[in-house]
Amino acid sequence: MFVSPDEDTRSDGGFRGERALLAGYLRDQRLTLELKCSGLDAGAMARRAVEPSDLSLLGLVRHLAGVEQKWFRAVMAGEGIGRHYRSEREPDGDFTGAVADPAVVAEAWATWRAEVAFAERLAAEAPDLGVTGDDGGEPIELREVLVHMIEEYARHNGHADLLRERIDGRVGQ
């Protein structure tokens, strides 16, 4: 096992109500990302999967910070902001800028945690899950964003599992 059950901070499910269910499963997916990255130094966090891919755990943290930012700040809150690591000049900056520098790793985690905190507040304070944001001229409900985020994390946590196994052989839940 990756961690013993006594040390696992994720839930066993058992959520009651739609908001608790979606928020709970998303929280568990976020905790899984942290778990997959725990105990690694900057070199391991930035280690690429296989050539020619630029996929790394650090890249995933940076990417997911941007995904949180896009869906919760830009789409749901309507904030007109530029993405953290992407630009027109560097559209894959989430991953290409994921370098083995402790300062880059610390900044990525701080950015991700700030975006997660914003998202959690927005979801908790919304009057209901039917509130809508603007996804490029198309309305989208908060519940759909939450489901999308669970899917996004689940997919990338699968990547994280393989990356971590390649780094040090750890596999698991």
pLDDT digits (tens, 9 = 90+) for 138-163: 999 999 999 999 999 999 999 999 99
- pLDDT band, very low/low/confident/very high, at 19 (cuts 50, 70, 90): very high
Q: What are the boundaries of each domain within the chain?
A: 14-168
Q: Which of 143, 152, 151, 154 is nearest to 18 (CA)?
A: 143
Assess if CATH 1.10.3720.10 describes domain 14-168. Answer: no
Q: Which of 140, 154, 129, 152 is nearest to 18 (CA)?
A: 129
Over residues 22-67, the pLDDT tens digits come to 999 999 999 989 999 999 999 999 999 888 899 999 999 999 999 9
List, in order, residues 6 or more apart from 33 with CB less than 8 Å away: 60, 61, 64, 153, 156, 157, 160
Task: Give the DSSP H/E element, type plus range, for residue 142.
Answer: helix 142-168
